Structure 1
Amino acid sequence: MSTNSLQAVAGAIARQKMIDASTIRPDTTLEELGVSSLDVTTIAFELEEEFNLSIPNEALDGLTTVADVVTRLNGLLDER
């Protein structure tokens, strides 16, 4: 798992939910963090800007943990 990707995802979640990014671990579920489907979309927009890539809506399906988001992000980065 890329440290940069993990930091970016944790930072985006922290800003969206107004929590401390250092409390976000890869195995933390999005539900535990109070992340809604609307939050996921907003977080995806932020990651698109940060990494200059397009995240298709279907890439947001089935995300359960922070690690899932990082893995999906890394996969999209590898594809470009």
Structure 2
Amino acid sequence: MSNSVRDTVTRIIAEQAMVEPAAVTSDQTLEDLGIDSLGLVESIFAIEESLNIQVPFNANSPEDSGFDVSSVATIVKAVEGLVAEQKA
């Protein structure tokens, strides 16, 4: 499951950044990839739709949402947790 979640999140982030998925690394931030706040929101929506989950994200106060968007790795980890919760 983890690889498919990681692949899905990476693909969505890459599409938003207009780069190949292979160019997206775990330690990159969305800012490193040129993704702004609107791109982040669009990415969150795409992740929710692709994985059929609800991401606890508040676009007006991202720091208060409890969903860590500080790097690609933290986004993947958070989404993996949400997918696991859904299946439990």
Q: State the TM-score, normalized to the length of structure 1.
A: 0.85
5+ long unaligned stretches in structure 2: 58-64
CA contact 1:17–1:34 (8 Å) conserved in 2: yes
- Equivalent position to 2:81, from 69, 75, 78: 75
How many residue pairs get aligned? The number is: 79
Distance 2:66 2:43 in 1: 13
- Structure number with greater CO (CA < 8 Å, separation at least 6) is 1
Equivalent residue runs for 1:1-80 within 5 Å:
2-57=2-57, 58-60=65-67, 62-80=68-86
- State the identity as a percent: 32
5+ long unaligned stretches in structure 1: none
1:59 Cα shift? 4.4
Distance 1:48 1:29 in 2: 20
CA distance 1:24–1:70, shift in 2 (3 Å): same
Cα RMSD of the aligned pairs, angstroms, is 1.7
1:10-41 CA-to-partner distances (Å, cap 9, x unmatched) read: 11011112111111111122221012222111
Larger Rg: 2
Runs of 4+ in 1 over 6 A off after TM superposition: none
